[in-house]
Amino acid sequence: MRDVYLIGVGQTKMTKNAGVRGRYMAAEAMQKAVEHAGIDWKQIGMLVTGNMTAGRLSHQQQLGALHADVVGLRGVEAATVEAACGSGAAAARWGFMAVGGGFHDVALICGSERMTQAPLDDTTAALATAADWELEGINGESFVSLNARLMKQYMQTYGVTSQDFGHFAITAHDNGFTNPNGFLHKKIDMETYLHSRMLVDPVKLLDAPPICDGAASIVLATEEVARAAHRQGLPLIRIAGSAIGTDSLALDSRRDMLVLDGAVLSTRRAMEQAGIKNDDIDIFELHDAYTVITSLSLEAAGFAEKGKGVHFGKDGEISRTGRLPISTFGGLKSRGHPVGATGVYQLVETYLQLTGTAGENQVPDPEFALVQNIGGTGATVVSHVLQRCA
């Protein structure tokens, strides 16, 4: 395997009902990433797009070829990756393997999702296809109801209350307030959290992410290309680890409903590749789709004991100046969660952190970051370790 570097990033602002067709939203993000990377379009050997719902909500498949055509890369190797809400990071892993494996020197990755043009019931049904249809979807389960099951089970098993999850939402909104590309620019307090509208008991509105549209893009390249395109004053960012772990789609088929085994596996694999341990991680950009998933992710990644993840961060540990910052640009909860694009937004934001270009959202002097993107309720978990290099 060759070393793989992240050399360019681009993103669009999160929107709702903006009327911009998905292909042009994706094109904007890709053009920004290639321009930021400082490379020629002719150097790109591969384009991979992560997307979940376009076939159902926009009646459009083959986004890889479509996006290649729109940005002037017709003829390049291109494909679409679908892994539910983990599609964006899965696309990044494809690009990582292509560059690392010697198939291409440069890969362009795009995560793109347009969800708000469709009626809410259609969007909800589209998202539910990431669950096990025969065991869950056919019985009317949605992602809100499935996460409500997880949250209720967690509360009953560990004797905690709804209030114990509130600091995750508060932290995300604090960080998202200064994210210029985020969707929700609103700080909240515990009272606001506790009195937010109930969706499916015990999940409240402020336990869940907003539905929105967005696209993000990154450029991956070999060390030779990275050093040739390197801008003075900025460090190089290496993908030090990349892995996927899987589990059953259905919650009732899990070994333990309250353990994200896919996250356990992908975290361990990615960190072993990088040759680091939990104490080396300066940022954990986790998939905070629901507050209960934040708790379970902290436990699965080894930052908290089982049943203790819900309490992690109550003393400021997860703030941008804490010992393990999370959701540094607002996470899914405040930045927004355009499902197939989310994993690429996470990588874009982490690049900004590691290069010291995160502006008001900057974390002090980070070197290693763990970036984790989850498909469904934990069936596909993609983990990347990013390292700041000289």
337 classed as catalytic = yes
What's the helix, strand, coil split of the chain in %, to 5? 40, 20, 40
- CA–CA separation, 228 and 222 (whole Å): 10
Provide the token pair at 201. Answer: 């008991």
Per the CB < 8 A criterion, the answer to whether 288 and 85 are in contact is no
Provide the token pair at 185. Answer: 């620019």
Q: Name the active-site residue from 36, 167, 287, 337.
A: 337
Phi (first) and psi of residue 177, to 5 degrees = -60, -30
Q: Is 214 helix (H, G, I), strand (E, B) or coil?
A: strand
User: Residue 15: which of 176, 186, 173, 183 has the closest Cα?
Assistant: 183
> Bridge partners of 332?
none
Alpha carbon of 150 to those of 165, 170, 178, 295, 303: distances in Å? 13, 20, 31, 11, 20
Contacts of 387 (CB under 8 A, 6+ apart): 237, 238, 239, 240, 274, 354, 367, 368
- CA–CA separation, 15 and 352 (whole Å): 21
How many helices (H) and strands (E) are present in the chain, helices listed first?
12, 11
Q: Name the active-site residue from 85, 167, 287, 311.
A: 85
Q: Name the burial class of residue 349, with classes exposed (0-12), middle (13-18) and buried (19+) by CB atoms within 10 angstroms of its CB.
A: buried
Provide the token pair at 93. Answer: 């892993």
Question: Letter for the amino acid at 169?
Answer: A
Phi (first) and psi of residue 218, to 5 degrees = -135, 155
User: Residue 381: which of 243, 216, 238 has the closest Cα?
Assistant: 243
The DSSP bridge pattern shows strands 46-50 and 77-81 to be: parallel
Active site residue ranges: 85, 337
